[in-house]
Amino acid sequence: MAVSVSVFLGFFLGLVLVGLVSSAKFDQLFQPSWANDHFVYEGELLKLKLDHYSGAGFSSKSRYMFGKVTIQIKLVEGDSAGTVTAFYMSSDGPNHNEFDFEFLGNTTGEPYTIQTNIYVNGVGNREQRLNLWFDPTKEFHSYSLFWNQRHVLFLVDDTPIRVHSNMENKGLPFPKDQPMGVYSSIWNADDWATQGGRVKTDWSHAPFIATYTGFQIDACEVPASVAATESAKNCSSSGVKRYWWDEPTLAELNVHQSHQLKWVRARHMVYDYCTDTARFPVMPLECVHHRH
């Protein structure tokens, strides 16, 4: 198994663990899902275009249970108000699970906002928003989703910005029984994306372009023919079969990651559904029990 040397996975050096490490080639992992004529391929780079005719999107060729998915993205430059670039994982059906990154465009000079959301058994409404501590339009940055049976982590350049913990012991469902595809897209959402829809898309700046590279999936691939209950079993460590995402060191954040998350929340979070008493007069149960 190839092992990442990032801070997040650095402590696995020397271990031989089972996992799927996929190539960084787009066409080996993904395929266009709509508006193929809005795709531009430039060597290792992929560009998705949004104009007044259409946006565009792609999806993974396989589904996965547990592991880590990373894409490097350079977001739309200049006046991106009204646009949304999304990177997410989702299962199928009305009772689906979903982990969302949504990058909400803004007028020139204003910070990009990341909105994250989590759906469990078809129920979402768990939005958090934060402003990034860098300009995501100037360079590529890595956006990752890490998922095991203990928690879901949202990471920006391997810095955790959100944790959703397994609290089944509190009677709360956790997304661990449905394999998920990996998706990304760009589209017009000027009815809500920028300042609640007050700022509309300026089509004179079109086409709006999001640029991608560094596609990596280190996760358990699930064949379409395998039932969901079996896929969860097949992708979990047992006996001599050890998956890296089940290692005890990944059951919770380490001290450094906990400090990073606290810094992000204190300095950059601008909205948390857990504190929105207008939407939720009674605090959602996972917010009551959550440690972060």
286 is catalytic: no
CA–CA distance, 157 with 181 (Å, rounded to integer): 22
252 is catalytic: no
Q: Which helix (H) or strand (E) holds 101?
A: strand 98-104
Q: What's the Cα-to-Cα distance from 43 to each of 46, 55, 74, 151, rounded to whole Å? A: 8, 21, 15, 36
Active-site annotation holder among 42, 44, 77, 102: 102
The amino acid at residue 40 is V
Q: Which two tokens stand for residue 256?
A: 């450094």
- How many of the other CB atoms lie within 10 Å of CB of 5? 10
Active-site annotation holder among 98, 127, 230, 286: 98
Q: Which two tokens stand for residue 6?
A: 């990032």
Q: Which helix (H) or strand (E) holds 142?
A: strand 141-147
Where b means 16+ CB within 10 Å and e means fewer, 231-257 reads: bbebbbbeeeeebbbbbeebeebeeeb
Q: What's the Cα-to-Cα distance from 34 to each of 48, 54, 55, 59, 195, rounded to whole Å? A: 11, 9, 8, 9, 28
- Known catalytic residues? 98, 102
